[in-house]
Amino acid sequence: MREWTQFKLKKNGSERFKEFKIKTFEDHEKLLGSYKYSNYFLSKKNFFKRYLSNHRKIWNRILQKKINKNHQTLSVGSGLGINELLLIKKNFKVDCSDLKIPDSYKFLRKIFGKYKYKKLDILKKNLNKKYHNIICLSVAYTFNKKKMNIFFKNVNKSLKKDGKLYLDIGGSSDTFSSLIYDKYYLRVESEIIFLIYRLLNNKISFYKYIWGFKYKNSEIISIAENNGLKYQEIYIDDYENELNRSKIISTMIKYLPFAKYLFYLIGFKMPYVRLFEFVKA
C-alpha cells in the first residue's frame, strides 16, 4: 500500500503545487462535480447521459448479474447514487447511505420514485439492520490500513449469514506500472503543461491532491479475510480510464486511432475496475 497523489491543472489563478487533502463529505462533493441541484436531475435520461461512464457500465453489468433482485442491498458511500439508481430503476432493493444525505436525494427521488438514503459513517458504526448484500464503489481508497480494518469489520457486522460484499476501492492497484505512471509521469506532464502556459502568459494553477491510498489486490484480500470475510472472485476490466488522467495520452488516443493500441499495452497493466466479491465467513 502506498499514498496516492493526483496532480490537477486549472485554467485560472497562479498557484503552483498547492496541496489539498480529501477529508470531508464536502471535499468529495466538490471533486465529483456537486451533489447539489443541477439540470441533470430533471430526468432519468439527462442524469445517466451525464454520469454513466464506462466503468459504471461495467460495474452495473456485474452487479445486475450477481445480486438477487429480492434481496436487500445496502450501498455505502453512495454519493449521487449513480450505480445504485441503475439498480433501483430495474427494481433491485437498494438502500443508499453516505456521511451526509446529499441535496440531490430530494430531486432524484422525484424522478426515480421512493428509495431510502441513510446517514452512515461506516468507520464509526454498523447499522442495526442486516443486509444480504453490501456494495461500496470508489470509497475505500481514502482509508489507510487502520481504517480499512474498521471498514471490513463494520461491513461484516452489517451482513446477514452468507451475505456478500461487492467492493471496488476505486483506482488501479499498487503496482510498479501505476507507481511510475501516477507518481512520476503524471506529475512531469503537469509540470510541462504548466510551464508552457506560464511562458505564453496564460493563467494556470497547479494543485496537488492527497487523494488516498493504492492497495495491491492481495493486501485488500488479506485485510478482508482478517475481518471475517472470505474472498470469492475479482472482476477486472477498463484499461482506458487511468490513461485518461493524462492530457497528452488521452488526446493521442482520441485523434490517432493506432496510438490507442500502443497505449493499451500500458493500460492493461492498470485496470481501473477491480470489483471484489467477498462472502461473510
CA distance 69 to 243: 35
The sheet carrying 117-119 orders its strands as: 117-119, 93-98, 72-75, 131-137, 159-168, 273-280, 229-237
Of the two residues 79 and 163, which places its CB atom closer to ligand SAM in the complex? 79
The torsion defined by the Cα of 219, 67, 139 and 32, in degrees rounded to 10, comes to 140
Query: To the nearest whole angstrom, how small is the minimum distance from the Cβ of residue 177 to ligand SAM?
Result: 23
H or E stretch covering 84: helix 82-89
Q: Which ranges in 159-279 belong to alpha helices (H)?
A: 176-178, 186-199, 217-226, 247-255, 257-267
Q: What's the burial of 118, exposed, middle or buried (CB within 10 Å: 0-12/13-18/19+)?
A: middle
Of the two residues 204 and 241, which places its CB atom closer to ligand SAM in the complex? 241
Of the two residues 120 and 204, which places its CB atom closer to ligand SAM in the complex? 120
Of the two residues 155 and 229, which places its CB atom closer to ligand SAM in the complex? 155
Amino acid at 123: L
Query: To the nearest whole angstrom, how small is the minimum distance from the Cβ of residue 101 to ligand SAM?
Result: 11
Query: To the nearest whole angstrom, how small is the minimum distance from the Cβ of residue 77 to ligand SAM?
Result: 3
Query: To the nearest whole angstrom, how small is the minimum distance from the Cβ of residue 134 to ligand SAM?
Result: 11
Residue indicated by cell numbers 494556470: 204
Amino acid at 23: K
Query: To the nearest whole angstrom, how small is the minimum distance from the Cβ of residue 210 to ligand SAM?
Result: 14
Query: To the nearest whole angstrom, how small is the minimum distance from the Cβ of residue 258 to ligand SAM?
Result: 33
* Nearest C-alpha neighbor of 91 from the set 65, 70, 111: 70
Q: How far is CA 232 from CA 94, 166, 237, 275, 279, in A?
A: 22, 10, 17, 11, 7
Of the two residues 94 and 139, which places its CB atom closer to ligand SAM in the complex? 139
Binding site for ligand SAM (CB under 6 A): 25, 28, 32, 76-80, 82, 98-99, 120-123, 137-139, 142
Query: To the nearest whole angstrom, how small is the minimum distance from the Cβ of residue 123 to ligand SAM?
Result: 4
* Nearest C-alpha neighbor of 73 from the set 188, 155, 180: 155
